[in-house]
Amino acid sequence: MTAVLLRRAAELLLTLLVVSVLVFLLTSLAPGDPAEEILRRGGIQPSARSVAVLRAELGLDQPLFTQYLRWLLAVLRGDFGHSYTDRSPVAAEILSRVPATLRLAGAAALISVTLAALVSVRAAFRPRAPGSRAVALVTVAMTGVPPYIVGILLISIVAVGLRALPTGGDGSPGAVVLPALTLGLAGAATLLRLLRADLAQSLRLPFIKLAAAKGLRRRRAVMVHALRVAAPNAITATGMVLADLLAGAVVVETLFSWPGVGQLAVSAIRQRDLPIVQAYVLVTAVTTVLVLALVELCLAAVDPRVRRR
């Protein structure tokens, strides 16, 4: 068991190393000279000499591999460099926005998991009821609708039409409701479709049919046996939904002016602030990898087949 954990830890570290290489290369090869951008933002007209001097100060005149090693060692110390816009530490900028993003992602995850679990179990109780079929149609429709469309509809109906909730920002306790619903409904549609199909398939297993023939009530068959069979796939789907919530927060935070990391990243992309973009992409990728690793540990805890593998 110890050897397996060490091997999985080594694979995880290798994955994170590859991610860091891709993040650095993709952002470093972006068009434009960071030294020129910094000089222009400082009100200085770039000249060949001033650009060369600033590039030497920033280490941009060194080979790309040397730049990557220096950047990686700094990142391992928690230093993501300084913003090109105001020269503030990038790590402090990211950390100041993390609580808002976690609050939004947590509320959205709660909506996704709760809604998907309640509706899928209800549909398993009465699979041929009109409500269950309507849920299936709505689920398919919601899966193909982008989150920003849902967000615009919620703003138009709830915030503008009914004036029940604020349109954006984080100035009131109810401000998180609409962005969390926008993210949560998208995740719930995916999770509901998978969980509903797994429960229906589990109820057709021979041992559950035999138990039903001997008088087992359908409610107990669903709550005790079918959910246990569907648990591994449900855990995997939940992990994927959580990863999607973190990635999808960029669009939703921008739409609702939510002061999270995603909005900071969009602003940095517009201003070509590469250190913030690098930090955001790296933190998001590392978080996604860690979430998927946690999902695998949860699967090993509930599924003996995974433990044996």
CA-closest candidate to residue 109, choices 195, 193, 181, 158: 181
Q: What is the pLDDT at residue 221?
A: 67
Q: Identity (one letter) of the amino acid at 74?
A: A
Which residues have C-beta within 8 Å of that of residue 6, sequence separation ≥ 6? none
Amino acid identity for residue 175 in this structure? A
Q: What is the residue type of 216? A: L
* 87 φ, ψ (degrees, to nearest 5): 65, 20
pLDDT of residue 239: 80
User: Token pair for residue 111?
Assistant: 């909506």
Cβ 272 vs Cβ 37: under 8 Å: yes
In three-state secondary structure terms, 288 is helix
Distance between CA atoms of residues 187 and 115, nearest Å: 10
Q: How far apart are CA 142 and CA 192, in angstroms?
A: 11
Distance (Å, whole) CA 122 – CA 13: 42
> What three-state secondary structure class fits 89?
strand
The closest of 81, 82, 74, 71 to 41, measured between CA atoms, is: 82
Give the Cα separation of 246 and 232 in Å (integer): 22
3-state helix, strand, coil in the chain (%, to 5): 80, 0, 20
If you search the block for the tokens 């021979």, which residue do you land on?
206
Element at 170 (helix H, strand E): none
Q: Is 176 exposed, middle or buried (0-12, 13-18, 19+ CB in 10 A)?
A: buried
**What are the structure tokens assigned to 107, written together?**
């509320």
Q: How far apart are CA 46 and CA 272, in angstroms?
A: 16
- What pLDDT is stored for residue 291 in this prediction? 82
pLDDT along the chain (309 residues), means of 10: 70 83 81 76 78 80 86 88 83 89 87 82 70 68 77 86 80 82 83 77 70 68 68 76 77 86 86 85 84 78 63
Residue 142 corresponds to which tokens in the numbers above? 């919601």
Between CA 2 and CA 10 the distance in angstroms is: 12
The answer, as to whether pTM is greater than 0.75, is yes
The reported pLDDT for the residue numbered 302 is 67
Domains of the chain (ranges, CATH numbers): 2-76 (no CATH), 97-308 (1.10.3720.10)
Q: Give the closest residue to 307 by CA, choosing from 291, 289, 235, 299.
A: 299
CA distance 190 to 187: 5
Q: How confident is the model at residue 128, as a pLDDT? A: 67
pLDDT of residue 52: 84
